[in-house]
Amino acid sequence: MLSGPGGVGKGTIAAALLAVDPKLWLSRSWTTRMRRPGEPETAYVFASNAEFRQKIAEGGFVEWAEIAGNLYGTPQPDPPAGFDVLLEIDVQGAAQVRENRPEALCIFVEAPSPEEQESRLRGRGDPESHIAKRLALADSERILAYELNAIHVVNDTLDETVAAIASLIEDVRQEGTANDE
Ligand code: 5GP
């Protein structure tokens, strides 16, 4: 599981991990958030509140959380045989997954500095109120990540971050316990 506050580059890291690791399968989350201008249609399953609530009622999510006023959830993963599941989710979701899968590798990505995080958040064109909410959440997310014993990785240089995470995943595979990353 790849977790961390908004604006630390998790999406970019996840895409880079998939490029270097042919045995990783990225789960596609559901969200009630509006699609951002220029965001691919495939980034999420974009659902209405009613559709999302219906999916919860059917037990269709392995975890879900409300983040800055929007709902996000991971549907039951269905990877091809031999693949490990990569989840890019917030720490509340990671905590829920950990309850059922204590062996899952949990990585918490940090921005090199709060200024860097803020500038990355602004670069996405989100409303100012949303940016403020995400920045305010970062501290409590970090605390929860420590409680989860997540491995903290500072995303200073993309290449180094991806290499470090790829090697952590490989270590878990070697131990023979990797099912979800
Ligand atoms: P964004 O709106 O910027 O795409 O995502 C906001 C936050 O939601 C990010 O921290 C992202 O990791 C998290 N997120 C995305 N999908 C899921 C999910 O399925 N479950 C949970 N709990 N968080 C998610």
- What is the residue with the minimal CA distance to atom 1 of ligand 1? 6
Determine the Cα–Cα distance for residues 158 and 156; give it in Å rounded to an integer.
6
Atom of ligand 1 nearest to the CA of 92: 22
Q: Is the CB of 63 under 6 A from ligand 1?
A: yes
Residue 56 phi, psi (nearest 5): -60, -45
pLDDT in tens, 103-127: 999 999 999 988 888 888 888 878 8
Strands 24-26 and 151-154: unpaired
- Report residue 47 as tokens: 């659902």
pLDDT in the model for residue 177:
55
- Report residue 118 as tokens: 């803020």
Q: Which residues contact 165 (CB under 8 A, 6 or more apart)?
A: 2, 13, 17, 107, 153
Q: Is the CB of 7 under 6 A from ligand 1?
A: no
pLDDT tops 70 at residue 181? no
For the chain, give the number of residues: 181
- What's the mean pLDDT in 87-109? 95
- DSSP count for the chain of H helices, then E strands: 6, 9
Q: Which residues contact 93 (CB under 8 A, 6 or more apart)?
A: 1, 3, 63, 64, 65, 72, 73, 74, 87
- What is the residue with the minimal CA distance to atom 24 of ligand 1? 89
- What is the residue with the minimal CA distance to atom 21 of ligand 1? 89
Q: Is the CB of 134 under 6 A from ligand 1?
A: no
Atom of ligand 1 nearest to the CA of 90: 23
Atom of ligand 1 nearest to the CA of 2: 12
- What's the mean pLDDT in 90-96? 96
Atom of ligand 1 nearest to the CA of 61: 19
Helix (H) / strand (E) element for 31: namely strand 30-31
Q: Is the CB of 65 under 6 A from ligand 1?
A: yes
Average pLDDT, the chain: 92
> Structure pTM?
0.91
